[in-house]
Amino acid sequence: MTELFTTIDALRARLEDAGRVAFVPTMGALHDGHLALVHRAIQVADTVVVSIFVNPLQFGEGEDFGRYPRDLDADRAVLPSGVIVFAPEVTELYPDGDVQVRLSAGAIGDTFEGKTRPGHFDGMLTVVVKLLNIVTPHVVVFGQKDAQQVFLVRRMIQDLNLPVAIDVAPTVREPDGLALSSRNRYLSEPERSTALALSAALSAATDASATRESAVTAAKAALAAEPTADVDYFDLVDPATFLPVPDDFAGEATAIVAARVGTTRLIDNAPVILG
């Protein structure tokens, strides 16, 4: 059975003399992708903390904060026994309402997901640094599916000299290639089929990755084959900078894609070797 804590003071008291601590921050609606992160955390630490908190700071106007799935009992039921769950109320983390001081994700935070969702990454980094300060883990585990988030958290840890290591686990996919996401439950059956265009585009880019141009052309052709997928972006970025790679780039790039399928926004990414 999991242990449940809802207050900062109680969690901090529990973590005294807890040995090596690994932390997995989530917004709940746990699926096999989250559980892969938890099992990775179990491998590298004595104590594992999983936060379940739907952070209002990273949702913009008109986004799905109100309808984001919340079922704490169901989430606790799928977690391995012995895991510590931190599930605070919003007022526990933000007792005065909106915060006056928050982190800035910088220029990269305004690109790709940040361009479509202004302020999203500022809110994400703010809650992550708050949670890291509360849990004080030795290692924090994220999933590669949220590539831009991982890049920004890694830079935050580096730039702020935070005493925590980051461990990034591979994206978990359905057998047909769809990346696992809490938002997949919003998809109807026809929409789920349409959503496969994202992973198809990544596969096409990988198969045609002699140059940036060939990879992008192949990916966009795969996306065009599903005209009901409203594509926001497809690009190839340098994993060291998260900036688009130049035409003559050689080496490993990250292919990133985002699209809206029905009312659901989905993202995905994959490594691509160019040159």
Strand residues in 35-145 grouped as ranges (E): 47-52, 84-86, 139-143
Tell me, yes or no, if 39 is annotated catalytic: no
For the chain, the first-to-last Cα distance in angstroms comes to 50
The helix-helix angle for 120-135 and 147-159 (nearest 10°) equals: 60
CA distance 103 to 84: 27
Do residues 125 and 13 make contact, with C-beta atoms less than 8 angstroms apart?
Answer: no
**Catalytic position from the list 31, 34, 39, 120:** 34
The number of residues making up the chain comes to 275
Helix or strand holding residue 151 (H, E): helix 147-159
Q: Compute the CA torsion angle 154, 157, 161, 166 (nearest 10 deg).
A: -80
Q: Which amino acid type is present at position 184? A: N
CA distance 180 to 242: 23
Output the CA–CA distances (angstroms, integers) from residue 97 to 56, 124, 221, in the order listed: 10, 16, 46
Q: Tell me which residues are annotated as active site.
A: 34
